Structures are given as C-alpha cells and as structure tokens.
C-alpha cells in the first residue's frame, strides 16, 4: 500500500459562550480530512470500532500524541442517521475552515 501525504494546520472555532477551540486538522493528498478524535468527541469504543474496519483510518501525531481519524471512516462507521448527518456537517465545517473561499456555499 502506498501512503498518502497529510498536511496539518490549526483551525480555531469560537463557541457560542465566547471560548475558542483550537484544533489541528489534516488534509490528505487524496483530499481526505483528518480530524482530532477529541475534537469530534469520539469515544475509545468508537475509535476501536473504526480501527477494526480499517487499521489505516486512525493515526497518531508522534510530536504531540494526538490521535486523528479519517473523517470518511467516522461517517461510514456511524450507525445512527441523525448522528451521521451531524458528523458530516462537522467535517464540512472543518473543510470550510481549511478552504474559506470554496464553492460549496
């Protein structure tokens, strides 16, 4: 298997209460979006289930120890249509933050 390159950058999300969340997001050379497990609020069980399906869907940044998950795998693994829609919206928001002038809007 040939690996993909992933470029990480920081994104800032302002919460309604005024707090900011700073997260790293990765964009793969194959256009995959890699989000922090903690940012998506995934449980350890959910991450393990994703790993059972695809061992390449979760990576660890050895510089800071954070886990990142391929957003496509998260949505695919979700069995609840309502949650799947919410996860897709969260990933779309991250993609928009990476490309603020995209044409999806």
pLDDT of residue 69: 94
pLDDT of residue 3: 66
What are the residue ranges in the chain where pLDDT is below 70?
A: 1-3, 99-105
Backbone phi and psi for residue 12, each to the nearest 5 degrees, phi listed first: -120, 130
Integer-rounded Cα Rg, in Å, for the chain is: 14
pTM, to two decimals: 0.77
Token digits of residue 48: 């393990």
CA–CA separation, 46 and 29 (whole Å): 25
Q: Long-range contacts made by residues 80-87, C-beta under 8 angstroms, separation at least 24?
A: 87/40
């Amino acid at each position: 298997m040939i690996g993909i390159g992933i470029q990480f950058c920081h994104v800032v999300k302002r919460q309604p209460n005024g707090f900011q969340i700073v997260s790293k997001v990765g964009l793969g050379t194959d256009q995959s979006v890699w989000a922090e497990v903690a940012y998506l609020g995934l449980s350890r069980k959910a991450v393990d289930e994703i790993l059972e399906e695809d061992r390449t869907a979760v990576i660890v940044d050895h510089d800071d120890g954070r886990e990142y998950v391929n957003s496509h795998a998260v949505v695919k693994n979700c069995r609840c249509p309502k949650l799947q829609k919410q996860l897709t919206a969260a990933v779309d928001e991250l993609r928009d933050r990476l490309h603020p002038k995209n044409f999806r809007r």
